[in-house]
């Protein structure tokens, strides 16, 4: 915490020095959304290059003056929280003055900017993000406040903890971990008692694009148990993108890649090639939209696809067919095809990439 306080004090000192010299104060941070500032490293995923371009948030420029003020406001809130050892969610910060901040996304963005500028992980700033992910299966742990959580015995999933760093005494006999893209598929596998039938496993879902806590938990479970991790996604560009976030990280959080990515994640399904192999009827597939086409084209250009020739092939199949499929398409074969046939066969015979 002293490191965080010192980093904030240095920023404020810089502002005061500028004012003393009758200069307009400026905040400088890495331009974290520019692909030129990002390099791909096999063992880490997407990370900031050591020599990145920066952007300035100026106090004397109409376009950025209000952002400059909001950054100082949130810095002062973080400073108080670190001093008093209290925590707040990004939502709490927004609701402390909705008129001032204007929108939740403004707050989220500024917090990421501050984390990047100070080079300090977000959770060390005492800002928690609201969790939307679920976890179930062969896992138990103790939360920071001493609450014991057992994910094994419940037919309902457990919410991913909001302070993943604080959990301890993790125990699991799981043979693998399954990341499920969507809540509906996750609930279906829960109802089918999947994590007890095949072999003990841990199932996790970020319910779409994963929040920070879900990504931190996947990474923590990987560090703790070193078991294989498989991703079960829709066979569409959006599903591939979500899987890449778990595996290689996201552009906006690349300065925190070391805590968030798990490059060993394998693509289990739904593979574009599975659709042909399983004779899924064309009528059950969904035609691409313009948005799907441009998303797929942008994924195909990313640096990590080049080192995944098998993924590349699957994306080419998807691009050529201009068709996509949700995991639910497997119910056209039979109601419980996913948990009874598809997943057990894939896991037993190695049908992942």
Q: How far apart are CA 83 and CA 90, in angstroms?
A: 18
SS3 content of the chain, % helix, strand, coil (to 5): 50, 20, 35
Residue 30 — very low, low, confident or very high, per pLDDT cuts 50/70/90?
Answer: confident
φ, ψ for residue 103 (rounded to 5)?
-155, 155
What's the pLDDT at 254?
67
Q: How much is the average pLDDT of 250-254?
A: 71
What's the pLDDT at 43?
72
Give the β-pairing of 134-137 and 158-159: antiparallel
Is the pLDDT reported for residue 158 higher than 70?
yes
Q: How far apart are CA 27 and CA 10, in angstroms?
A: 11
Q: Which residues are catalytic?
A: 95
Phi-psi region of 67 (alpha: psi -120 to 50; beta: other; left: phi over 0): alpha
What's the pLDDT at 257?
66
- Burial class (CB within 10 angstroms; exposed 0-12, middle 13-18, buried 19+) of 125: buried
Is the pLDDT reported for residue 170 higher than 80?
yes
Domain ranges across the chain = 2-128, 134-349
294-335 per-position pLDDT tens digit: 999 988 888 788 888 898 999 999 999 898 899 988 888 888
Q: Indicate the fold that domain 134-349 takes in CATH.
A: Dna Topoisomerase Vi A Subunit; Chain: A, domain 2 (3.40.1360)
What's the pLDDT at 159?
87
Class of domain 2-128: mainly alpha
179-223 per-position pLDDT tens digit: 999 988 998 888 888 877 788 899 999 998 888 889 989 999 999
32-89 per-position pLDDT tens digit: 777 777 777 777 777 777 777 778 888 888 888 888 999 999 999 999 999 998 888 8
First to last CA, the chain: 42
Is the pLDDT reported for residue 177 higher than 90?
yes
| pLDDT greater at residue 251 or residue 230 | 230
Residues in the chain: 353
Average of per-residue pLDDT values in the chain: 86
Q: How much is the average pLDDT of 89-103?
A: 88
Residue by residue, DSSP assigns 187-235 as: HHHHHTTHHHHSS-EEEEE-SSSPPHHHHHHHHHHHHHH---EEEE--B
Q: What is the largest CA-CA distance in the chain?
A: 74
Closest CA to 66 of 91, 102, 90: 102
Residue 255 — very low, low, confident or very high, per pLDDT cuts 50/70/90?
Answer: low
Closest CA to 212 of 244, 175, 164: 164
Q: Which residue in this structure is represented by tokens 């996509």?
A: 324
């Amino acid at each position: 915490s002293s490191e965080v306080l010192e980093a904030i004090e240095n920023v404020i000192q810089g502002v005061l020095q500028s004012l003393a010299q009758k200069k307009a104060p400026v905040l400088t941070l890495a331009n974290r959304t520019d692909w030129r500032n990002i390099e791909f490293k096999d063992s880490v995923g997407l990370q900031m290059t050591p020599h990145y371009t920066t952007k300035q948030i100026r106090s004397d420029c109409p376009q950025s003056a209000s952002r400059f003020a909001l950054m100082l406001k949130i810095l002062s809130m973080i400073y108080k929280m670190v001093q008093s050892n209290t925590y707040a969610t990004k939502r709490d910060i927004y609701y402390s003055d909705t008129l001032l901040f204007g929108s939740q996304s403004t707050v989220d963005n500024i917090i990421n900017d501050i984390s990047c500028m100070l080079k300090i992980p977000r959770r060390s700033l005492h800002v928690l993000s609201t969790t939307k992910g679920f976890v179930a299966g062969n896992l138990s742990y103790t939360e920071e406040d001493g609450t014991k959580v057992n994910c094994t015995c419940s037919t309902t999933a457990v919410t991913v903890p909001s302070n993943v760093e604080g959990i301890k005494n993790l125990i699991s006999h799981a043979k693998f971990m399954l990341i499920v893209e969507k809540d509906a598929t996750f609930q279906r596998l829960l109802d089918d008692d999947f994590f007890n039938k095949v072999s003990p496993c841990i199932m996790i879902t970020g319910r779409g694009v994963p929040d920070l806590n879900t990504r931190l938990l996947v990474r923590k479970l990987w560090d703790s148990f070193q078991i294989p991790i498989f991703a079960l996604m829709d066979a569409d560009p959006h599903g591939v993108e979500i899987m890449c976030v778990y595996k290689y990280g996201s552009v906006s959080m690349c300065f925190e890649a070391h805590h968030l990515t798990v490059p060993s994640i394998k693509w289990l399904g739904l593979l574009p090639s599975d659709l042909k192999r399983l004779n899924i009827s064309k009528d059950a597939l969904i035609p691409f939209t313009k948005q799907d086409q441009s998303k797929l084209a942008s994924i195909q250009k990313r640096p990590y696809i080049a080192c995944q020739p098998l993924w590349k092939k699957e994306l080419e199949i998807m691009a050529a067919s201009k068709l996509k499929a949700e995991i639910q398409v497997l119910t056209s074969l039979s109601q419980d095809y996913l948990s009874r046939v598809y997943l057990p066969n894939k896991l037993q015979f190695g049908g992942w990439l």
